Amino acid sequence: MGKFIIDGGHKISGEIDVQGAKNAVLPILAATVLADGASEIHNCPSLRDVDKTDQVLEGLGCTVSRGDHTVTVDAGGIKCCRICEELMREMRSSIVFLGAIIARCKEAVVSMPGGCPIGLRPIDLHLKALRALGIDISEEHGYIKCRADRIKGADIHLDFPSVGATENIMLAAVTADGVTTIQNAAREPEIIDLGLFLRAMGADIRGIGTSVITIKGADKLHGAAYTIMPDRIVAATYLAAAAATGGSITLKKANPRDMGAMLHVLREMGADIRCVGDTITLTSPERLKSVHTIKTMPYPGFPTDIQSPFMALAALADGTSVFVENIFENRFQHVDELTRMGADIKVTDRSAVVRGVKQLSGANVVARELRGGAALIIAALAANGTTTINGTEFIDRGYENIESYLSACGAVIRRE
C-alpha cells in the first residue's frame, strides 16, 4: 500500500490544467469496439483505470497504442467477446462494455461485478433494459451471458436515471434495428460526451443531455477522433484544496458550465469564483462558511463524487453543515478518518452533520476509496502538522499525478 505524506498549513495557490474526465473516457473507450476501424481518443488522463480499460480492449482482440494522453484503438481484429474475471473485479465500470460487445459480436460474457466499497452498485437496470432490446441474458456461476442475433430498438423507461445503464443502452442501441427511446435517461455531462463521440462515429442520437434520448440504429459505425471533456470532479477537488488552505487558484482547460452545483456551494461557503471561457479562478475567504444542506442527486444536482471532498471543507467551516447521500449507501467511509484529524461529524443513516472546527490536525489515516481519499488530501493540506494517508492506489484511480499538481501549487506532499 502506497502512502502520501503531507505537511499541512501551506496555501494551495497557482495554476492547474484540468485532466480529461475518467468517467467519460472509460465508456468512450468501450464505444471504440463498435467501429470496424481505428479511433483516436485525445485528452485521456494517465490513470490506472485507463490502463486497465486498454487491457480489456486488448483482451477482446483490439490493437491499442498509447501516446502522450492519446489512446488509439483499432477494433478491426476483434475476436473475443469475453472480459476476464480479474479485470471485471478490478474495475466495476467495465460493465459498460456489455452493451458495446453485444452490439459488435452478437454475444458477450462478463463476470458479475461484485460489491464495491461505496455500496452494492446493482446492475438490474442495465440488464432489464438490455432484455427490452431483445438481448437474451442468463446469469450463471457468477457470469452474465448475453446473446442476440439482432438487437431491436425499444422504448425503455429507467426507474432511476442511472449513468451506467444509460451508457449501456446507448452502446447497445446505436446499431440496433429500429428506434430506441430512453425515458428518464441520465443527463450527466459524461453522457453527452459519449453521445458526441458516438455521433462522430456515425450514430444517429438525439436528446443527449435531456431526459429523453432517441437513437436510430445505424447499419455500421466507423472509427473517429475525439477529445475527452475536462474532469469536473477533479476540477472541483483542486478548487476545494485551494479553498481549504486559504489559497487562490486558476484552473485552465476546465468547463465551468458542467460544474454549476459545485460552484454554487463554493460561493455559498464564501469563495469568490470567476469563470471566463474555460478558466475558473477561486479566491478563498478569510474563513469558510457552513452550508445549510447538501444533498447528492443525479445531474444537474450536487454530484455524489464530490460529497466527501466538500465534507473536508465543511469540517473547517464556521457553523454546521448537513450532507445527505442519496446515491450510494456506503459513501461516508472518510468520516472516521476525518474525525481522527479532529473533525466533528456525526452520521445517522444517510446523513452527516458536520460542525466546523477552527483547525484540523495531522494524523495517520487510510483512504478506502477514490473520492474519500481526495477528501483526506484536502483535510491534510489544511491541517496543522503532518498527515500520512495510506491507500494511494485508490486516489490514483481518478487523479493523474495529484502530488505533482499540488506540489507545483505550494503543497508539501511526497509519495512513499
List contacts with ligand UD1 (CB under 6 A). Answer: 23, 121-126, 160, 162-165, 188, 298, 303-305, 327-328
Among 195, 185, 245, CA closest to 224: 195
Q: State the catalytic residue, choosing from 80, 116, 275, 409.
A: 116
Which CB atom, from 77 or from 122, has the smaller least distance to ligand UD1? 122
CB 233 within 8 A of CB 375: no
Show Cβ contacts of residue 294 under 8 Å, excluding neighbours closer than 6 positions: 265, 302, 307, 310, 314, 321, 322, 323, 324
Residues 379, 374: Cα–Cα separation, whole Å = 9
Q: How far is CA 239 from the centre of its chain?
A: 17
Provide the minimum distance between the beta carbon of 166 and ligand UD1 in the complex, in angstroms, as a whole number.
8
Which CB atom, from 328 or from 394, has the smaller least distance to ligand UD1? 328
Provide the minimum distance between the beta carbon of 257 and ligand UD1 in the complex, in angstroms, as a whole number.
17
Which CB atom, from 310 or from 362, has the smaller least distance to ligand UD1? 310
Containing 151, the helix (H) or strand (E) segment is none
CB 238 within 8 A of CB 399: no
Among 257, 313, 19, 23, CA closest to 163: 23
C-alpha cell at 197: 463521440
C-alpha cell at 127: 440488464
116 is catalytic: yes
Provide the minimum distance between the beta carbon of 62 and ligand UD1 in the complex, in angstroms, as a whole number.
23
Provide the minimum distance between the beta carbon of 182 and ligand UD1 in the complex, in angstroms, as a whole number.
13
Number of H helices, E strands in the chain: 14, 24
Provide the minimum distance between the beta carbon of 344 and ligand UD1 in the complex, in angstroms, as a whole number.
26
Helices 97-105 and 22-31: angle between axes, nearest 10 degrees: 10
Which CB atom, from 165 or from 203, has the smaller least distance to ligand UD1? 165
Which CB atom, from 310 or from 328, has the smaller least distance to ligand UD1? 328
User: Which positions are annotated as active-site residues?
Assistant: 116
